[in-house]
Amino acid sequence: MSGSRIAVFGAGAWGTALAQAFSASHRVSLWGRDRLHLSELARTRENHRYLPGVALHDALIVEPDFDTVARNADLHLVVTPLSGLRDTVRRLQRLQPGTPLLWACKGFEAGSGRLPHEIIAEERGDAAACGVLTGPSFAAEVARGLPAAVTLAARDAAFARHWVGVLHQPRLRIYANTDLIGCEIGGAVKNVIAIAAGVADGMGFGLNARAALITRGLAEIARLAQALGGRSETLMGLAGMGDLILTCTGDLSRNRRVGLALAEGKTLDDILRELGHVAEGVSTAREVVRLAHRHGVEMPICEAIDALLHHGLNARSAVERLLARDPREE
């Protein structure tokens, strides 16, 4: 098969979906931390745990050896949860320094509050030959070949254009962008707003309330992005408004489901155990509020969700706190 050799690190839903999508045109190897899980993938040609019912492409290689995957690639694509990004990039830098790198992780590093590109810069020494793949895309739909459009953002415009040209497909359309910060902020904070939308929906507040939350949530995201050096127009595109709308309204959204369950009165521990997947908005809420305070950015929706998730506030009180805010100009 012609095409690039792509190494995908992370065999969850999104990592498997991207590996599946790119396998039609490229030589793709998929690696994950759980060897038993990888063995099942290789044997059954299906990711029963995260993407049941999707047959893996015949050409997709499931490879349990990290070193083999890393050394035989033209592109490294990291699709672990954000908590695994630093360790994965550190290992890649030791084995195959300088290989072009994309990541599809969203959120802020717990404790440090670092965005993914900041983690990359610390581990690689700079942010060259790197970029983020982000945008409105549910893994189950991408894995089944349904149409989607995402953004590839990198500070180096030539790098972004090159890999867009390589990876772009009729059913997975990719658009280049140079606003790395804006794209990462959009992808991270929308998960927190989606939890809020789930809470409002679960409490029966209706479609008007959902629309208001999405719109005001987008304003919060844009304020933070601008404070950190991002561009406001980025948040009007796929990595901002597109991703936010999908995550706040789609039933496949894990973060929205967290909000729906919180509205039912379930505990966060029970919700996450039943979910079986990582919901990045849970940890992101804490970090985004810390970052907002540090930069003097007003983010009342994110603050209410952080209080609900981590400081004992109940769902009804969280919503009432937002409704009780003083009127102001939009």
| Positions marked catalytic | 190
Structure tokens belonging to residue 270 = 């029970």
Task: Tell the residue number behind the tokens 């304003």, with chain if given.
Answer: 219
Burial class (CB in 10 A: 0-12, 13-18, 19+), 196: buried
What's the maximum distance between 2 C-alpha atoms anywhere in the chain?
Answer: 61
Cα–Cα distance measured from residue 264 to residue 117, given in angstroms and rounded to the nearest whole number: 36
Cα–Cα distance measured from residue 157 to residue 154, given in angstroms and rounded to the nearest whole number: 6
Q: What is the four-CA torsion angle of 30, 36, 42, 47, rounded to 10 degrees?
A: -70
Q: From residue 113, how far is each of 119, 149, 155, 275, 286 by CA, in Å?
A: 10, 28, 20, 25, 9
Q: Are 26 and 64 in contact (CB under 8 A)?
A: no
Going by DSSP bridges, is the β-strand pair 148-153/130-134 parallel, antiparallel, or unpaired? antiparallel
Task: Tell the residue number behind the tokens 């902020």, with chain if given.
Answer: 185
Structure tokens belonging to residue 273 = 């155990």
